[in-house]
A = this chain, B = another copy of it.
Amino acid sequence: MDRFKDIGEFGFIDRIAAHAQRNRVLCGIGDDCAVMAAGQERVRLVTVDAMVEGIHFVPQAPPEGVGYKLLAASLSDVAAMGGKPTDAVVAVSASGDCDAGYVERIYNGLFACADRFDVAVVGGDTTRTSGALVLSLTLTGEMARDQVCYRSGAQVGDAVYVSGTLGDAAGGLGVILGDVDLPGKVRTALLQRHYRPEPRLDLGQALAETGAVTAMIDVSDGLASDLSHICQQSGVSAVIRAAAIPMSRAFIKFCEVSGKEKLDLALTGGEDFELLFSVSQTQVNKVEALAYSICRIGEIVASDGSVMIEGEDGKRVPLEQLGYDHFGGG
């Protein structure tokens, strides 16, 4: 008997991919959102995310943060297409012994995020379970059809950019789990990035409107992993410069105190929800003219879908060779 843990998603993704080959489905799987035609010129975006207690959030997590992040993670998926979110529905499965106050605080965080980003929470289903608390959220968005930023359009010669700073959310998790002696301001900054991630919706829409972006994804699994998704789906490789990876002072301080290697954590720490995108070489001025914090970190090159890192000595090494095991950890 095959167990769920052995075969992972056991072909679900492949089956959806085959099944979604229908009229009006422009992209059924393999991107941040599914994309459906809505009239001639618009598309509807849909993304679903589930979070399970004990797997996606630790018991000591503040429930408001859990709720906020549930929606924020989906908003980031819409941002990564260049879209605008419209409405969400939520399914909650909780055990009879689950503290109602705890679940209510999760909702508080969810609605706070919805209010902040003007998303209507329009429905839900609440069910009983005998097991762990399970939250799933489906978010719908929309945008112009000719502006959708898929993962698959990166071209050799494109410049690679990332927004904001990387590693902060991983630092926040380190603060929660570890016994790290940090100044209060540093702790607060990292926890904020972990529990109140900032989906880059305005930036995503602005980038889509430039028409200069050839591929885009959000940094949810970690830069190394997410950039490899762009490379594999575009049939290209990428070189990123170690010295160019943007890091916050709080994150650098965290690494100093905790003894973590900062480049490793910045490349592999997930849930920063920044945008990672490639831009045609001739159009970089369009994205650099935008009033957002973005950083050029590398280039798209011709190769086999891998991601290479270029050290200060100019040497390029594939990330796998640096011990990145499936990009899951540093």
Are B136 and A36 in touch, CB under 8 angstroms?
A: no
Question: Does A138 belong to the interface (CB within 8 Å)?
Answer: yes
Instruction: Produce 1/0 per residue, A106-137, CB < 8 A to B.
Output: 01000100110010111111111111101010
Are A124 and B12 in touch, CB under 8 angstroms?
A: yes
Are B5 and A96 in touch, CB under 8 angstroms?
A: yes
A3 to B122, CA, bound (A): 25
Question: Does A50 belong to the interface (CB within 8 Å)?
Answer: yes
Checking B24, B97, B134 against A129 with a beta-carbon cut-off of 8 angstroms, the contacting residue is B134
Checking B34, B52, B97 against A4 with a beta-carbon cut-off of 8 angstroms, the contacting residue is B97
**Which of A38, A114, A123, A138: most chain B Cβ within 10 A?**
A123
Contacts of A44 in B (CB 8 A): 44, 140
Question: Does A62 belong to the interface (CB within 8 Å)?
Answer: no
Tell me the chain A residues, 1-38 only, with Cβ under 8 Å from chain B.
1-13, 15-16, 19-20, 22, 24-25, 28-29, 33-34, 36, 38
If A19-B111, A134-B93 touch, whether A127 touches B55 (CB-CB below 8 Å) is yes
In the assembled complex, the CB of A172 is this many whole angstroms from the nearest CB of chain B, namely 21
Which of A84-92, A150-158, A264-272, A322-330 participates in binding chain B? A84-92
Question: Does A283 belong to the interface (CB within 8 Å)?
Answer: no
Contacts of A50 in B (CB 8 A): 91-93, 125, 127, 136
Question: Does A312 belong to the interface (CB within 8 Å)?
Answer: no
Contacts of A10 in B (CB 8 A): 100, 103-104
Are B87 and A49 in touch, CB under 8 angstroms?
A: no
Are A100 and B3 in touch, CB under 8 angstroms?
A: yes
Contacts of A314 in B (CB 8 A): none
Contacts of A214 in B (CB 8 A): none
Count class of interface residues, chain A: 35 or more
Contacts of A94 in B (CB 8 A): 4
Contacts of A121 in B (CB 8 A): 16, 19-20
Question: Does A259 belong to the interface (CB within 8 Å)?
Answer: no
Are B131 and A129 in touch, CB under 8 angstroms?
A: yes
If A126-B9, A129-B132 touch, whether A15 touches B111 (CB-CB below 8 Å) is yes
CB within 8 Å of B: which residues of A?
1-13, 15-16, 19-20, 22, 24-25, 28-29, 33-34, 36, 38-39, 44, 46-52, 54-56, 86-87, 89-101, 103-104, 107, 111, 114-115, 118, 120-132, 134, 136, 138, 140
Contact sample, A vs B, 23 pairs, CB 8 Å cutoff = A1-B100, A2-B100, A2-B101, A3-B96, A3-B100, A4-B94, A7-B100, A16-B121, A20-B121, A22-B118, A22-B120, A28-B122, A29-B122, A34-B89, A36-B87, A38-B38, A44-B44, A46-B122, A51-B127, A55-B127, A91-B91, A131-B132, A140-B140
